Amino acid sequence: MTALIAAVLVLLLGAGVCLLPLRNAVRAAIGIASQVLATGLVWFTVVPVLMGGPAVIGDLAWAYPVGTLRIRLDALGAFFLAWSLPMTLLGSIYAAGYLRPYFNTRRHLGLHYALLNLTSLSFVLVYTGDHALVFLLGWEIAALAAWLLVIWDYTNQKVRFAGFNYLVSTHVGLIFLVAGFMILYTHTESWELGSFGDWLRRNPGSERNAVFLLLVTSFGLKSAFFPFHSWLPRAHAAAPAHVSALMSGVIHKAGLYALVRFVWLIGTPDEWMGWFLIAFSACSALVGALYTVGQRDLKRLLGYSSTENVGIAGIGFGVGCLGLSWHNPALVAIGFAGGLLHVLNHAFFKCQLFYAAGAVYQATHTVDMEKLGGLARLMPWTAASFLIGGVAISALPPLNGFTSEFVIYSGLFPGAAASSGAEAMPLTAKVALCLAGAMLAFVGAVSALSITRAFGVVFLGAPRDANVVPPVEVSLWMRLPMALHGLGVVILGVLPVLGFMLVRGPTEIALAVLPGALPATSAGVLDAIAHTLSNIGVVSGTLVACVLLLLWLRSRWVKPPVASHVTWGCGYGKPNARMQYTGSSFSSDFAQRFRGVMVTLRRQKAPEGYFPTDAYLITDCVDAVERRLFSVIKHGDASAGELSGHLREDDPRIAFAAALVALVLIAGLVVLAGGPLQ
């Protein structure tokens, strides 16, 4: 408790000192140092809670309208805090390398580091606040800090537009959140999440459903679920790489935290809520994965894959939610443990991928994959980092993405083991879950496609564009965060039990929510998951060992030197780099089959005449949701204009008619509400 408050104060102090007139390098050092200190202080409180200790609870007296502020750190909050702060710290370290060109300019870097500190601060508030106002305050600090971090390059109009797009979206989300909280407050007259939970548990019905939908919309906007994702690719493409990484990997996980928190507060959710979550998340996973296929901007691609991955985690939470409504401990454990594990794994590999993309940008000044190629030879560290992250994000063994998707899959194909819970699972539910599993398999294959495309085009082959500066490997400041994230990805993949140890505490809370829960049953289902995960670890380890053995045997068998020759081009001996397969040709066949979702714009000038001079073809995959949104606004604007053309403002008849309609509506509402208010 004291350590948490100390961490908040250290972060605030660090942010304040960063703003003082100092050299930029000193400001960066102060920012990083305060984050190191705060991380240590937070871990000091978090680690005991995560290892099974009691929740840390404390009250802070505050002035009148707020009342007592309750701070409550349980295993769920501890789980999120445990990695959010260190990852922000790594992001700040990366920033020291990424923003190096600005260090000796007049640009004030202190503000940037102060905002990074505030981001860390917002995590402490959101993940420990048991008071709705503290929660909202943290939520808002995170949103504003992220906005200001996104518009680092504010002189660029596109960047400002992306920033405002994000700011508007996140505040639309805030409106939904506040609406949900207001409904809860009117019933409980308390700002404490615990009393919200009491009311939610006792009053199933339409109002609870409305609150659920409001909150899911808000959290969906925060975490960029489809169809609320359209701000995300813009913001991720515009922001500096470490900001994209932190937003995608860490900051927007707050939406998932809040989702899980409120599902647990509901206690026994209605069955439709679980199905709704699964369907909503499955749509996100599917559409997000499809969008990654067409992108030519590496960071936009990674942004869309966030939508995909929050969807995958959401499927897990949906399964857990179904388990809560069916009182099935095995499904509760699998769903929430799988979902939370995926959140952690995603934070590891997504930050890593964004860091690698940022390294590409710093070295070549572009992230347009059609201009890049053959970077693996010149930037081996970055290439290895992107490959590790890519294999993990495609959920392939032996890396960590596989372990969490495995747990989620095992909830979708429960077999006899899970249905022997309190009541057997209905057949239709089994079939529906099986269909969700098939869809997840499709999503996995699609994300493997887009990662092959991205890695293959950017890092393999030969450089495509002679105008791109020949890159050199980035500085150690940028390689260190990549290496640490990569290490995490590998360790969590080969020793998945370590990751499970972190999510075990939170999952126990979910199991305790079940009525009539026995500690023995909870321990049983959790041990079963741990056992299966240790099998995965053994298999992954075997796979790595087999590959190493084969490579060793090969090195004994084939003695250098080996011959080298030009790539086979059907007998053509002078291939050039422009003849390579491009990213858009890689995806065009697949994109063609999903035209409805993946809108591809083409601009072309076909070669004409016997001696064509110039010809080009430019394809770009744009966001269908955003296009649709704008076209609806356009049509709405046009029809509103048409209507106002027919009506004359100074006509008194229209004013009378409008007043009459308003009166009738109000009377109708009064009648429906059961008489005038008491």
Orientation of helix 476-494 relative to helix 496-513, angle to 10°: 70
Q: Does 589 bind other proteins (CB under 8 A)?
A: yes
Cβ at position 464, least distance to other proteins in Å: 9
Q: Does 640 bind other proteins (CB under 8 A)?
A: no
In the set 62, 154, 272, 581, which binds other proteins (CB under 8 A)? 581
Which three-class secondary structure state does DSSP give residue 56? strand
Q: Which one, 558 or 606, has the nearer CB to other proteins?
A: 558
Q: Does 565 bind other proteins (CB under 8 A)?
A: yes
In the set 410, 507, 522, 619, which binds other proteins (CB under 8 A)? 410
Q: Does 231 bind other proteins (CB under 8 A)?
A: no
CA 121 to chain centre: 19
Close Cβ partners of 244 (under 8 Å, ≥ 6 residues apart): 235, 236, 237, 299, 302, 303, 354, 357, 358
Compute the half-sphere exposure of residue 403: CA atoms within 13 Å on the CB side of its CA: 37
Q: Does 391 bind other proteins (CB under 8 A)?
A: yes
Cβ at position 224, least distance to other proteins in Å: 23
Residue of 16, 7, 191 lying closest to 84 (CA atoms) = 7
Q: Which of residues 422-441 bind other proteins (CB under 8 A)?
A: 427, 430-431, 433-435, 437-441
The strand pairing partners of 129, in sequence order, are 71
Q: Does 323 bind other proteins (CB under 8 A)?
A: no
d(CA 327, CA 339) in angstroms, rounded, equals 18
Q: Which of residues 490-519 bind other proteins (CB under 8 A)?
A: none
Cβ at position 293, least distance to other proteins in Å: 9
Total residues interacting with other proteins, rule: CB under 8 A: 83
Instruction: Identify whether the C-beta of residue 87 lies closer than 8 Å to the C-beta of residue 249.
Output: yes
Q: Does 460 bind other proteins (CB under 8 A)?
A: yes
Cβ at position 433, least distance to other proteins in Å: 8
Q: Does 551 bind other proteins (CB under 8 A)?
A: yes
d(CA 232, CA 224) in angstroms, rounded, equals 7
d(CA 428, CA 561) in angstroms, rounded, equals 62
Q: Does 305 bind other proteins (CB under 8 A)?
A: no
Q: Which of residues 522-541 bind other proteins (CB under 8 A)?
A: 528, 532, 535-536, 539
Residue of 355, 331, 212 lying closest to 280 (CA atoms) = 212
Q: For residue 525, report the phi and psi dihedrals to the nearest 5 degrees.
A: -70, -35
Q: Does 542 bind other proteins (CB under 8 A)?
A: yes
Cβ at position 448, least distance to other proteins in Å: 5
Q: Does 387 bind other proteins (CB under 8 A)?
A: yes
Quickly count: other Cβ atoms within 10 Å of residue 517's Cβ: 16
Element (H, E) at 622: strand 616-623
Q: Does 335 bind other proteins (CB under 8 A)?
A: no
Q: Does 416 bind other proteins (CB under 8 A)?
A: yes
CA dihedral defined by 504, 505, 511, 512, rounded to 10 degrees?
Answer: 160
Q: Does 467 bind other proteins (CB under 8 A)?
A: no
In the set 92, 184, 586, 621, which binds other proteins (CB under 8 A)? 586
Q: Which one, 89 or 525, has the nearer CB to other proteins?
A: 525
Residue of 372, 342, 343, 340 lying closest to 359 (CA atoms) = 372
In the set 448, 480, 498, 622, which binds other proteins (CB under 8 A)? 448
Region label for 158, one of left (φ > 0), alpha (ψ between -120 and 50) or beta (otherwise): alpha
CA 11 to chain centre: 24
Q: Does 196 bind other proteins (CB under 8 A)?
A: no
Q: Does 575 bind other proteins (CB under 8 A)?
A: yes
Q: Which of residues 596-635 bind other proteins (CB under 8 A)?
A: none
Please choose, out of 65-73, 88-96, 304-312, 403-411, the segment that lies near other proteins by the rule CB under 8 A.
403-411
